[in-house]
Structure 1
Amino acid sequence: MAEERRSVLRRALHILDTCKEAQGGLSLSEISRRSGVPLTTTHRIVTELHQWGGLERDDFGDYRIGLRLWEVAALAPRSVGLQRIALPFMQDLFEATHRGVHLAVREKDEVVFVERFVSPETASERPRVGGRYPMHATAVGLVLLAHAPAELQEEVIGGPLRSYTSRTCSNPRELRQVLAQIRRSGYAISDRQINPAYASLAAPIHNPDNTVVAALSLIVPHTESHTPNLAYLVQASARGISNALGARRRRTRPRTPSAIRKGR
């Protein structure tokens, strides 16, 4: 009986993952096909999720993620206090640069974006709030990976390291060098590693015991990716959030983006 309950739960979670990954609504048959759950079981689980509010049904009869899940996720301790404290700093950075600003945390071996301010030209671009992305190809991911436990670093470096563009750092030896440089300089640059038109700069956010708990990034056209002032602004905003979280002041001397290997 317990195994049967676990099986139903796994299928329900798989259905939610399927709906989460869809760009729009999905019909019951589409959910069944994409999730691999039999149609009759899909119908039963989707009906229960819809009644609870985990799934919503649109005017066409298709299902999508419901507001109830957002209400539950919004209570996650790791994001609630962090978002509340970070928002004023993110808004200041956005108004100073008019570029996309993103806040992310690490979840196992992936990056999860928990808040963002978007510029008009990047409004339709990734990353979206709640989206998960690889650690080796994003600036926030590189920052979080550089300060992650050694065993996790080895797991990620050991691959596979997917290439999203010709500039994605997919060589283990080079990735090790990049992570070491990030720890020395205090920030990361991901230059067209995900999107060939954009680069991102990111800096770590520390909690009271100076553990890196999040990363803040700025998304800019790649032609601006090595502007020193932008790197300083991101670092200053990240330090402001860290101080507001209660982190001890760290004496660091920022380096210019030219100190980081071009293209990383």
Structure 2
Amino acid sequence: MRTDDGKAVITRVVEILETFNHNDHLTASRIARLSGIPLSTCHRILQSLTACGMLERHGPEYRVGLRLWEIASHAPRSVGIQRLALPFMHDLLEITQYPVHLAVRDELEALFIERLTPSDDQQLRPAVGSRYPLHVTAVGLVLLADSSPAIQEEYLAQPLHRFTPHTEIDPHSLRRTLAKIRNQRFAVADRQVNPDAASVAAPITDREGTVVAALSVNVPGAMLRERSLAQAVQTAAWSISRVR
């Protein structure tokens, strides 16, 4: 089945749902603009999604519905690892007093699936649900380092975005960095995304030793204590791996 503009309905549904990646609530006109879907088509799909509980309507605005959340809660690579990791993330937050993040690899991006921050923290990124290229965050580097050689070469063959003057985009240098990460079992991203911030990450593995997620602590760049932070993050990541 296709919409009036020739696109498959399921494609349009996905485009609408993706507008909620960085927005809690949206009007129909805003959803139409963000998704590029004609407003009349957007209205019809929104009505169907609301009728089946995928979205909820509050006045003129739409929000993600409980039915969609219920289905998503069965995703083992996000909710499963998140549930196991949370107690250890709380411990890591208490020890370091810096934001703690949990991420998984989705294709060629790092997808952040959980975030804990001190009560006085003003930083809003990376938010849960946000995505970053693998080469710019510590969690991304950990996930890329333990990916197959084919995935690594596919990633390094593409143009790499530079976020700050410190962002490493040279494929040869990145290969050396990835080898170092595999050897030491932690990664450091120093001012790669934000010129004032750094992060240290370690891998979380399954029972076969395959890396399934990465855990990180984000700190102001001037406060980076690589070795001590790496030990704390590695201990937490190892503990999560043990209970999987």
1:13-43 superposed Cα distances (whole Å, 9 cap, x missing partner): 111112324x453322222232121221111
Equivalence map 1:94-173=2 (5 Å):
94-120=93-119, 122-173=121-172
Matching residue of 1:209? 208
TM-score in terms of structure 2 length: 0.91
Matching residue of 2:76? 77
Mean Cα displacement is larger for which, 205-214 or 114-123?
A: 114-123
Q: SS at 2:236's partner residue?
A: helix
Matching residue of 2:57? 57
Q: SS at 2:124's partner residue?
A: coil
Matching residue of 2:17? 16
Q: How far apart are residue 6 of structure 1 and its match?
A: 7.7
Matching residue of 1:261? none
Instruction: Give the gaps of 5 or more residues in structure 1.
Output: 246-264
Q: SS at 1:19's partner residue?
A: coil
User: Structure 1 residues 81, 157: closer, same or farther in 2, change over 3 A?
Assistant: same
Q: Measure the CA separation in 1 of the matches of 2:219 and 2:53.
A: 37
1:139-163 superposed Cα distances (whole Å, 9 cap, x missing partner): 0000000001111111111122111
Q: Measure the CA separation in 2 of the matches of 1:79 and 1:104.
A: 8
Q: SS at 1:104's partner residue?
A: strand
Task: Give the letter for the 1:136 counterpart.
Answer: H
Task: Give the letter for the 1:48 counterpart.
Answer: S
Determine if contact 1:20/1:65 at 8 Å carries over to the other structure.
Answer: no
Mean Cα displacement is larger for which, 29-38 or 44-53?
A: 29-38
Instruction: Give the gaps of 5 or more residues in structure 2.
Output: none
Q: SS at 1:152's partner residue?
A: helix
Matching residue of 2:33? 33
Q: Measure the CA separation in 2 of the matches of 1:19 and 1:93.
A: 30
TM-score in terms of structure 1 length: 0.85
Task: Give the letter for the 1:66 counterpart.
Answer: G
Matching residue of 1:218? 217
Matching residue of 2:227? 228
Determine if contact 1:19/1:63 at 8 Å carries over to the other structure.
Answer: no
Q: How far apart are residue 121 of structure 1 and its match?
A: 5.0
Determine if contact 1:207/1:242 at 8 Å carries over to the other structure.
Answer: yes
Mean Cα displacement is larger for which, 67-76 or 191-200?
A: 67-76
Determine if contact 2:19/2:31 at 8 Å carries over to the other structure.
Answer: yes
Q: Measure the CA separation in 2 of the matches of 1:115 and 1:96.
A: 18
Mean Cα displacement is larger for which, 182-191 or 217-226?
A: 217-226
Q: Measure the CA separation in 2 of the matches of 1:128 and 1:157.
A: 25
- The size of the alignment, in residue pairs, is 243
Q: How far apart are residue 3 of structure 1 and its match?
A: 10
User: Structure 1 residues 227, 188: closer, same or farther in 2, change over 3 A?
Assistant: closer
Pair 1:7 & 2:4 matched: no
Mean Cα displacement is larger for which, 199-208 or 77-86?
A: 77-86
Q: How far apart are residue 56 of structure 1 and its match?
A: 2.9
Q: How far apart are residue 229 of structure 1 and its match?
A: 1.2
Q: Measure the CA separation in 2 of the matches of 1:210 and 1:123.
A: 36
Q: SS at 2:216's partner residue?
A: strand
Q: Measure the CA separation in 2 of the matches of 1:179 and 1:170.
A: 13
Q: How far apart are residue 10 of structure 1 and its match?
A: 0.4
Matching residue of 2:92? 93
Determine if contact 1:20/1:64 at 8 Å carries over to the other structure.
Answer: no
1:196-254 superposed Cα distances (whole Å, 9 cap, x missing partner): 22110000111000001111100111112234211111111111111122xxxxxxxxx
Q: SS at 1:233's partner residue?
A: helix
Q: SS at 2:165's partner residue?
A: coil
User: Structure 1 residues 109, 91: closer, same or farther in 2, change over 3 A?
Assistant: same
Q: Measure the CA separation in 2 of the matches of 1:138 and 1:122.
A: 19
Task: Give the letter for the 1:221 counterpart.
Answer: P
What's the C-alpha RMSD, in Å, of the aligned pairs? 2.1
Determine if contact 2:188/2:226 at 8 Å carries over to the other structure.
Answer: no
